């Protein structure tokens, strides 16, 4: 994999991955809005549950899916789950991050190594962001809930 | 057909179990759910599954290593990889180690059922 910074086409891959996840898993499309750059010290993670995948190999950083409890409860319900525990909410937010990272790997190539997901419950700036790294947020709306995919990657080259 | 489901996500294990046992695949009997490769190998020894769904990114023993172990342990078992890691190189490696099919996450209910039908046919 060549080493370079993220381009618009790279960001689009993530937007499409979000659409694919909700369409395939819940049979209901998500409205995915335009990506924007996170400015200054804006937190990378800030919602009820945060699924985090660490990435290295060509690009390094993390990919995170950050969502309110209600959204994840409804995803669980659509998957036929009847148990709305903290453990299941952490599990599904991590699995969504994992699935979105898989799309990144298909796009960037197998040189991109992705970790098993870490689920972080609770609001707050959970992940420090280097000041010189550009992070992107892709906001989405599904079933009346707002959530965000955050891409915090930079080329290792 | 005895089915073992292997995935580090409990929600995903249960999801696959529900889709496999809702009556649309009457020949399927779920004999185990495993959260990592080591647990999968241990359960496979005890329960002798005919079919296995296999995640790839898992702690302790990952899916690729587990496929190799299971292919040696149960050479007649059919292994369906169900993973977000569905790039071509990963799929080829899994097939070389002994997998028989590949479904990429996210999947629709029908995509998973169809893949299981093909695996069992």
Max Cα separation, chain A?
46
Contact with chain B for residue A82, Cβ under 8 A? no
- CATH no. of B2-107: 3.40.50.2300
Report pLDDT for A1: 47
Q: pLDDT tens digits, residue range A102-139?
A: 888 888 887 888 888 888 877 665 555 666 677 889 99
Q: pLDDT tens digits, residue range B38-71?
A: 999 999 999 999 999 999 988 888 899 999 999 9
Q: Which chain A positions have a beta carbon within 8 Å of B89's beta carbon? A: 110
Residue B30 confidence class, pLDDT cut points 50, 70, 90:
very high
For chain A, domains (ranges, CATH) are 8-155 (3.40.1550.10)
Q: pLDDT tens digits, residue range A52-94?
A: 888 888 788 888 899 999 999 999 999 999 999 999 999 999 9
For the entire predicted model, the pTM comes to 0.90
| Burial profile A42-60: b = 16 or more Cβ within 10 angstroms, e = fewer | ebbbbbbbbbbbbbeebbb
- Who wins on pLDDT, A112 or B92? B92
Pick among B35, B55, B106 to test the A interface (most A CBs inside 10 A): B106
Mean of the per-residue pLDDT values of chain B? 94
Contact with chain B for residue A98, Cβ under 8 A? yes
Which residue of B lies nearest to A80 if distances are taken between CA atoms? B15
Domain ranges within chain B, ordered by starting residue:
2-107
Q: pLDDT tens digits, residue range B103-114?
A: 999 999 999 999
Cα distance between residue B32 and residue A40, in whole Å = 49
**Separation in Å, CA of B14 to nearest CA in chain A:** 8
Q: State the DSSP string of B60-92.
A: SS-HHHHHHHHHHH-TT-EEEEEES---HHHHH
Report pLDDT for A56: 85
Lowest pLDDT segment from A46-60, A119-133, A134-148, B72-86:
A119-133
Report pLDDT for B110: 96
- The size of the A-B interface in CB pairs under 8 A is 63
């Amino acid at each position: 994999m060549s080493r370079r910074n993220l381009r618009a086409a790279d960001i689009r891959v993530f937007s499409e991955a979000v659409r694919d996840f909700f369409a395939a898993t819940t049979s209901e499309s998500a409205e995915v809005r335009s990506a924007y750059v996170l400015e200054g010290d804006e937190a990378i993670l800030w919602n009820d549950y945060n699924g985090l995948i660490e990435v290295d190999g060509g690009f390094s950083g993390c990919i995170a899916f950050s969502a309110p409890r209600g959204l994840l409860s409804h995803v669980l319900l659509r998957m036929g789950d009847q148990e709305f525990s903290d453990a299941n909410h952490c599990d599904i937010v991590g699995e969504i991050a994992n699935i979105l990272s898989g799309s990144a790997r298909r796009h960037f190539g197998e040189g991109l190594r992705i970790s098993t997901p870490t689920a972080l419950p609770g609001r707050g700036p959970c992940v420090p962001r280097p000041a010189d790294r550009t992070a992107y947020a892709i906001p989405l709306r599904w079933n009346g809930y707002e959530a965000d995919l955050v891409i915090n990657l930079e080329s290792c080259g | 057909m005895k089915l073992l489901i292997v995935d580090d996500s409990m929600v995903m294990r249960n999801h696959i179990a529900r889709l496999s046992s809702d009556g649309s695949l009457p020949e399927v009997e779920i004999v185990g759910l495993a959260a990592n490769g080591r647990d999968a190998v241990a359960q496979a020894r005890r329960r002798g599954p005919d079919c296995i769904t296999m995640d790839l990114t898992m702690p302790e023993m990952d899916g690729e290593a587990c496929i190799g172990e299971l292919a040696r342990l149960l050479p007649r078992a059919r292994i369906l990889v169900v993973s977000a890691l569905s790039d071509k190189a990963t799929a080829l490696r899994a097939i070389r180690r002994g997998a028989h099919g590949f479904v990429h996450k996210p999947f629709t209910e029908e995509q998973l059922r169809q893949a299981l039908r093909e695996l069992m046919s």
